[in-house]
Structure 1
Amino acid sequence: MLSGLMNFLRACFRPKSDQYSHTSLDTGGRQDGLLWYKDTGQHVNGFTSEQQTMSVDVIRKAYQATEEGFLSLVTKQWPMKPQIAAVGSCCLVGVICGGTLYVANLGDSRAVLGRAVKATGEVLAIQLSAEHNVCIESVRQELQSLHPDDSQIVVLKHNVWRVKGLIQVSRSIGDVYLKKAEFNREPLYSKFRLREPLKRPILSADPSISVHQLQPHDQFVIFASDGLWEHLSNQEAVDIVQNHPRSGSARRLVKTALKEAANKREMRYSDLKKIDRGVRRHFHDDITVIVVFLDSNLVSGGSSVKGPNLSVKGGGVSLRPNILAPCATPTEAGST
């Protein structure tokens, strides 16, 4: 079952080999989106094989292994490419096992469930993931409680709350310049270096994990980076998926969000699309979307780690179970 899910994730996204110099990097050096689906998924699969079951602990270990793997890469690259210390990613993962949906998250990506209501025929949006963006008061309070001796742990800068005035998320994969003192020094760019010595990690790689027992009226789950949710509410996104054919759902969500971004800038969508991607980052955030439709065998709980095949569709990508699907481009997967 897990191998089928990971085949789907591989088909939806594959990081570029030059990801650390990619034009979608934001001003903080982070690459948003679902970058770590593939890597974390491989770790999840490995830990599941060891323990013969899926659990919150298995997922947490997978995140830890992914973080340690990236830290190892930073350590090796630091002498040649020190700016890699300021590269990081949000990490949103969904695993379906035995009729149970596990959703784990670092950062401000989001998973939203579409659940049908028999009495009315409508499909309601239910958010499954917790977010770690300091624009949320409870997240700011959490950081302040962890760093009571630092009055500048969260700073309002240009009307945006940021951790140390640098980054909006409090949890991520990477961003080791805010986790390890040895990477917060020259030759890292001065804009990333703290004025005072880093005594303990500021950011965390410990995910928030929720467990949801799937029901027959659970229709689909939308996994998306924060770029989508800046322009669409949970219910608006669910309505778009519900009211259109399954094929192309992810791309349809991306296009709708981009049209809204264009409207906010008082420009035409066609003109927005003409702007170079490196410049478009100033008009809208990166957007990556995966839509997973829940088939009856998943909801019934008939599947398990060793159990029947998994059938999943997302963003127009349809896979037969237990095969390694060809890799789709980010555009085909619903990414911009």
Structure 2
Amino acid sequence: MGCCVSTSSRSSCSNRSHSEAASPSCFCGQKRTKRTFSDHVIALQHLPSVPNRIFTNGKSRTSCIFTQQGRKGINQDAMIVWEDFMPEDVTFCGVFDGHGPHGHLVARKVRDALPLKLLSSMHSHQSRQNGSGRTCFKGNSKKSDCGDSEKDGSAEDRLNSLWREAFMKSYKAMDKQLRSHPNLDCFCSGSTAVTIVKQGSNLFMGYIGDSRAIMGSKDSNDSMVAIQLTVDLKPDLPREAERIKRCKGRVFALQDEPEVPRVWLPFDDAPGLAMARAFGDFCLKEYGVISIPEFSHRVLTERDQFIVLASDGVWDVLSNEEVVDIVSSAPSRSSAARILVDSAAREWKLKYPTSKMDDCAVVCLFLDGKMDSESDYEEQGFSSATLQSNHSGNAVESDDGQKSEPSLQRNFTVRSAEESDSYGRLPPEFEGNVDMVSGEDQNWSGLEGVTRVNSLVQLPRFSEERPNP
């Protein structure tokens, strides 16, 4: 039986009584009387003005987000919360950590384009299934009222399969768009992505790279515990390392940072990418680095309190338990993301005083849908200078196997010792090349673009002697 996604904000199941409220996450393939899915997509030409979509420091009905530039140059992190992503209680959240000379542009491009590709994928599925029957998918784990009870399990499976397909297709299309982008060089630049879709009590996750999602939940004693939702896709994970080596890429750590495995070209000690999957980074796509996401599904319960998505600048210095403690003890929900970033910044200074603090981006999504009543940023301690600084770092661009079990450890992608002078100089062929830095980013030196301690060591130096892959 086919399925489709209704975009009516008041859709209800055909056999539900008029006196019974419709499930807020029921997707029924009935005749639509309101805006169609394609209408919704077409209306997204001006993303900054889309209602209930936030991508700069602030809060929404159910979430707060905050990012802070590190000490390596322009903020290359991006984040988004999009409530009403699709009608019927669907929210999209994402954190994207860029790296390389144009990593900030890649992260913002993915932030803006990837959600639209998910919408497009769902619309395509709807178009294919229109008229072929209807299946109602519930966004909760309770029995469905939209069909025979014996079909509930298969409906849940089809919903899971639908989102898996959407994530896979969207990530593939996103990387393809970056490869062919006329104004964005992604050869040695890229971005991680950790993205979630909350549909009722269903949580669907797709992710690449080493940005992470965790959940704060209450155990049987009503104590807060941390549950890691994603796996840091590092090059030393057995399945990742096997794939990279099979594709002739190399995986090893530098002598002065033995805790940071990196991906290297077969013919050059570059670029030293500290993750096994990423958008962009096309210099390594033939050698085992991929953009295929890991996908997972989880049914939320009443014990689950909030979800935190963050870039590795947070996980490098704070454990999962520490993050849950900080968020759950924040004086207000709307200040939780900012307080978490402030805590990470303090830990950077204490634990790695000789290293440059990485960019940090945090999304806190509260699962009960409630926020506190602060009415402005001043009440939360947001200064106008902070907002201006961070908003400029998120400006909208004018260019068009077997998993390792999640651990509660830190990311360990920072140098624990003083950085060597060799990481403080540009390669000779780039010295004096002012074209590497665009006019709008003149405060971002070429060094930060070429040498991102947490991501890349240096750009590859291709020559005529380069062997054929």
TM-score with structure 2 setting the length = 0.49
Task: Verify: 1:143 aligned to 2:194, yes or no.
Answer: no
Aligned to 1:111: 213
Q: Does 1:241 align with 2:349?
A: no
Identify if the C-alpha distance between structure 1 residues 176 and 12 changes in structure 2 by more than 3 Å, giving closer, same or farther.
Answer: same
CA contact (8 A) 2:317 2:351 kept: no
**Could you tell me which of 69, 73, 76 is aligned with 2:177?**
69
SS at match of 2:347: helix
Task: Report the 3-state secondary structure (helix = DSSP H, G, I; strand = E; otherwise coil) of the residue aligned with 1:155.
Answer: strand
- Structure 1: runs of 5+ lacking an equivalent: 15-21, 180-199, 268-281, 296-310, 319-327
How far does the alpha carbon of each residue in 1:122-171 deviate from its partner, in whole angstroms, 9 at most, with x for none?
1111011122122xx424x5323553474x61122132321015111110
**Which has the bigger relative contact order, CA under 8 A and spacing at least 6?**
1
Amino acid at match of 2:282: V
Of residues 363, 370, 373, the one that matches 1:290 is 363
What is the CA distance between 1:266 and its match in structure 2?
4.8
Q: Percent identity?
A: 26
Deviation at 1:51, TM superposition (A): 2.1
Letter in 2 for 1:130: V
Q: Indicate the RMSD between aligned Cα atoms, in angstroms.
A: 3.6
In 2, the alpha carbon distance for the partners of 1:240 and 1:67 equals 35
Distance 2:74 2:171 in 1: 26
- 2:151 equivalent in structure 1: none
The Cα of 1:7 is off from its aligned counterpart by 5.5
1:34–1:111 Cα change, 3 Å: farther
- Residue 256 of structure 1 corresponds to 343
Question: Which of 273, 276, 291 matches 1:205?
Answer: 291
Max Rg structure: 2
Match among 144, 149, 163 for residue 55 of structure 1: 163
Residue type matched to 1:161 in 2?
Answer: P
Q: Pairwise mapping of residues 43-192 of structure 1 onto structure 2 (< 5 A)?
A: 43-52=117-126, 54-73=162-181, 76-77=182-183, 84-117=186-219, 119-134=220-235, 137-139=236-238, 142-148=240-246, 150=248, 153-157=250-254, 158-159=256-257, 160-164=260-264, 165=269, 166-179=272-285
Unaligned runs of 5+ in 2: 1-24, 26-36, 41-49, 58-64, 66-72, 77-97, 127-158, 377-386, 395-469
Note closer, same or farther for the CA distance 1:175–1:313 as it changes in structure 2 (3 Å cut): farther
* Cα distance in 2 for residues equivalent to 1:39 and 1:317: 31
SS of residue paired to 1:248: helix
Aligned amino acid, residue 66 of structure 1: M
CA distance in 2, matches of 1:317, 1:11: 18
- What residue number does 1:183 align with? none
Flag the 1:31–1:213 CA change in 2: closer, same or farther, 3 A. same
CA drift of 1:47 comes to 1.2
Aligned length: 257
Q: Kindly indicate whether the alpha-carbon contact (under 8 Å) linking 1:293 and 1:312 is maintained by their aligned counterparts in 2.
A: yes
Q: Give the CA deviation at 1:11.
A: 3.3
Change in Cα spacing, 1:225 to 1:313, as seen in structure 2 (3 Å) is farther
**Cα contact 1:127–1:234 (8 A) shared by 2:** yes
Task: Provide the C-alpha distance between the structure 1 equivalents of 2:121 and 2:283, rounded to a whole number of angstroms.
Answer: 28
What SS does structure 1 have at the residue aligned with 2:344? helix
Taking structure 1 as the reference length, what is the TM-score of the superposition? 0.66
Q: How does 1:17-36 map to 2 (within 5 A)?
A: 23-24=74-75, 28-29=100-101, 31=103, 35=108, 36=110
2:305 aligns with one of 219, 232, 236 = 219
Residues 155-203 of structure 1: CA distance to partner in whole angstroms, max 9, x if unpaired?
A: 2213232101511111001111212xxxxxxxxxxxxxxxxxxxx3421
